[in-house]
Structures are given as structure tokens and as C-alpha cells.
Amino acid sequence: MTKPVCYSTKAFSAASATSALSATTIERRQPTPSDVQIQILFCGVCHSDLHYARNEWAFTQYPAVPGHEIVGRITAIGTGVKKFKVGDTVGVGCLVDSCRTCPNCREGLEQFCDAGMVGTYGATEKHLGTPTLGGYSQSIVVTEDFVLRMPANLDLAAAAPLLCAGITTYSPLRHWKVGPGHKVGIVGLGGLGHMGVKFAKAFGAHVVLFTTSASKVADGKRLGADEVVISTDAAQMTAQAGRFDFVLDAVSATHDLNAYLNLLKRDGNLVLIGAPEKPLPVAAFPLLMRRRSLSGSLIGGLPETQEMLDFCGQHNITCDIEMIRMDQINTAYERMLKSDVKYRFVIDMKTLA
């Protein structure tokens, strides 16, 4: 297969695990017949970006261009594109391709592709055979089947993190059919947790936020939590034991899973969307005694992600963000490590000049 012609575009990249991100120029393929070319307007900053840039998952290929919460405007389309036109406002999330033929892909669960999903960064670009490069750049080219329509009524900057933080929390809540009459716990009020609170409330559940920080009580209630529990307070935790249908755990730091398993009713489910670095011990008896379940969830496929965006448009749901310039990304990474953001950084890509 002949490799497509490429063009150059400006980006920010990391040259090594210890280097700061800095301005560079990268190559993108010119659109093939099924591709759309997107001018990136906003890109959310996910904690995964930091992990990848610093090779904390041990698979980074340098130079690394992170970014998978992308909102932009289509500037060119391939000759065979049917779903979009030049000028459309669109989004690109955590994946840009998959095998399309395995059972998971055929069910619209491309995130579980048997051959391995093609990530927006850190995977292999099928056309060029080079590493995929993410949204910290002026433009990107993506096959139309992995591009999403953005609701016209949403603030585009605040909608950008929906492409990762949004779908990561929406998907498990939908899969386990959370709704009216359910008591739902959200563990952690960060980039993921604050979206979990918003979605669970929009689905009609009674929402309880669990946080280690008393300073987040007021914000948790502002975002939609009916109750806020300080998880380090043993008396408060005991008072909630055995009362929950579903708990969504958005914490990536080391913490006690058994404390949250004990919150569940019979047949209740604790779902992990955070990814702690080290394994967390799980006692057998909290699971056995009430037929409780411990599960995990990873983003969502393309159909569900579009469903999530449409739901957000209908209910006017976006992320709480802090806008930054592209040249502030290294400071933003350091602030993320200190949890000093409410609740997602978003890069204004016009500042990449």
C-alpha cells in the first residue's frame, strides 16, 4: 500500500520522560478518501497525558504528543466521506481506529477491540506505520468513522473533556442501568468524579459523593450530590454501610476498596474507573456475604460516545474547566499532580502559534 502524502503542522511534544513539553513540528497524513482533516480548537488535559509524556506506563515512543480530548472544525474531507462536511464542528476522543471486524468492534465496543484499539496517541498509525500523535497540535487527520458530532448548544472548550472524562463516567453508569430509585456513590471529586456526579444526578439517582477533603463538600453539592461523606470519618462511613446499589470509584491513588464494598447492598456493584499504580487488596467476605460485585470499565465505543454527547446536549452538561495556553502545559502538569485544578485543564489551541 502506498503511503499517503504528508503535511507539517505545529505541536507540543515531549522528547524524553524527563524533558518538558515544547514546541515542535510534526507530520500528518493528507486525508485519504475516508478521512477528515480537523483544525483543533480545544484539547483537554487528561492525567493519562502526563503518564504517557513521562513514560510512567513504560510504552511511550518519543517524541510524544499527548491529547485525546479534541474538539475542532473540519477543514478538508476525503473524496469518499459521507458523514461530514467542511465546517462541521466535531470531536475526537481516545481512539482513532480499530480492526472493525472482531465481535467487539461489530457491537460498537471498539475500546475492547480484540486486535487492540488504535489510541489517539501511543499506538501505531495504520497508514504511515509511525506512532500516533495526539491533540496537542494544530490539526489532526482521522477516519470519519471515529469522528463525533458536537452538540451545537454546548460551550466547545467545556465540552472537550467529555471525549474522555465524560464517556469514562457515562459508560458504566449506563451499562449498569443507573436511574431513579438507585442510591449511587461517587468516590473522588476530580476530573472523572465531578462528571460522575453530574451524570448520576442527570440519570435520576440519589447521589452521594465520597471525598477525603472537607473543602470539597460545598462543591460536591453544587455539582449535584445529594450528600457528601468524608471517607476518612469512620462514623460517616459506617452510617452508609449496606445502602448502595452502585458505587463508581474514580480514584487512581492507593485506597481501601473494602471500605467501598461494604457500602453495597445485596447484588450491588463497585466499578473501578481509576487506575491505581499498585494492586489493591480485596477481602473475600465483603463480596461473599451479599453477592456483591467488583468490576471495571474503560471509556466507551463510538456509538455510546455519540449517545453521551447527545445526552449532554439535551441536558446542557459540560465539564468544569480552567482554560490554559499551550505554553502553560508543563505548569498544568505540575498542578495536576497536586490536584490543583477544578476540574479539568483545557488548552486553547489558538495559542499554539
* Strand segments (E) across 32-181: 35-45, 70-77, 89-92, 95-97, 118-119, 139-143, 148-149
**Domain CATH code at residue 152:** 3.90.180.10
Instruction: Give the largest Cα separation in the chain, rounded.
Output: 66
Q: Is 334 within a domain?
A: yes
Q: Let me know whether 44 and 145 are in one domain.
A: yes
Q: Let me know whether 347 and 275 are in one domain.
A: no
Q: What is the pLDDT, as a whole number, of residue 278? A: 86
Q: What is the pLDDT, as a whole number, of residue 90? A: 98
Cell of 257: 476498596
pTM of the model: 0.95
Q: Let me know whether 37 and 80 are in one domain.
A: yes
Backbone angles phi, psi at 297, to 5 degrees: -150, 145
Q: Let me know whether 175 and 289 are in one domain.
A: yes
Q: What is the pLDDT, as a whole number, of residue 1? A: 56
The whole domain housing 232 covers: 165-296
Mention every residue, 6+ apart, whose C-beta is less than 8 A from residue 19: none
> Residue 208: helix, strand or coil by DSSP?
strand
Q: Is 314 within a domain?
A: no
Measured distance CA(168)–CA(162) in Å, rounded: 9
Q: What is the CA radius of gyration of the chain?
A: 20
Nearest-CA neighbor of 69 among 48, 55, 84, 88? Answer: 48
**Domain CATH code at residue 242:** 3.40.50.720
CA distances from 121 to 124, 156, 335 (A): 8, 22, 22
Q: Is 155 within a domain?
A: yes
Q: What is the pLDDT, as a whole number, of residue 16? A: 96
Count the residues in the chain.
353
Contact 158, 346 (CB under 8 A): yes
**Which of 296, 312, 341 is the endpoint of a domain?**
296
Q: Is 313 within a domain?
A: no
Q: Let me know whether 155 and 169 are in one domain.
A: no
Q: What is the pLDDT, as a whole number, of residue 189? A: 94
Q: What is the pLDDT, as a whole number, of residue 230? A: 97
Q: Let me know whether 159 and 172 are in one domain.
A: no
> H/E/C letters for each residue in 173-216?
HHHCCCCCCCEEEEECCCCCHHHHHHHHHHCCCEEEEEECCHHH
DSSP 77-101: E-TT--S--TT-EEEE-SEEE--S-
Q: Let me know whether 142 and 169 are in one domain.
A: no
Q: Is 328 within a domain?
A: yes
Measured distance CA(169)–CA(297) in Å, rounded: 9
Q: Let me know whether 330 and 280 are in one domain.
A: no
Q: What is the pLDDT, as a whole number, of residue 275? A: 87
Residue with cell 507540543: 12
Q: Let me know whether 346 and 197 are in one domain.
A: no
Counted domains in the chain: 2
Contact 119, 68 (CB under 8 A): yes
Q: Let me know whether 15 and 65 are in one domain.
A: yes
Q: Is 309 within a domain?
A: no
Q: What is the pLDDT, as a whole number, of residue 3? A: 73
Q: Let me know whether 55 and 111 are in one domain.
A: yes
Q: Is 188 within a domain?
A: yes
Q: How many CB atoms lie within 10 A of CB 237?
A: 18
Measured distance CA(193)–CA(250) in Å, rounded: 6
Q: Is 301 within a domain?
A: no
Q: What is the pLDDT, as a whole number, of residue 169? A: 98
pLDDT in tens, the chain (353 residues): 567 799 999 999 999 999 999 999 999 999 999 999 999 999 999 999 999 999 988 899 999 999 999 999 999 999 999 999 999 999 999 999 999 999 999 999 999 999 999 999 999 999 899 999 999 999 999 999 999 999 999 999 999 999 999 999 999 999 999 999 999 999 999 999 999 999 999 999 999 999 999 999 999 999 999 999 999 999 999 999 999 999 999 998 899 999 999 999 999 999 999 988 889 999 999 999 999 999 999 999 999 999 999 999 999 999 999 999 999 999 999 999 998 999 999 999 999 97
Q: Let me know whether 189 and 267 are in one domain.
A: yes
Task: Give the DSSP letter of residue 320.
Answer: -
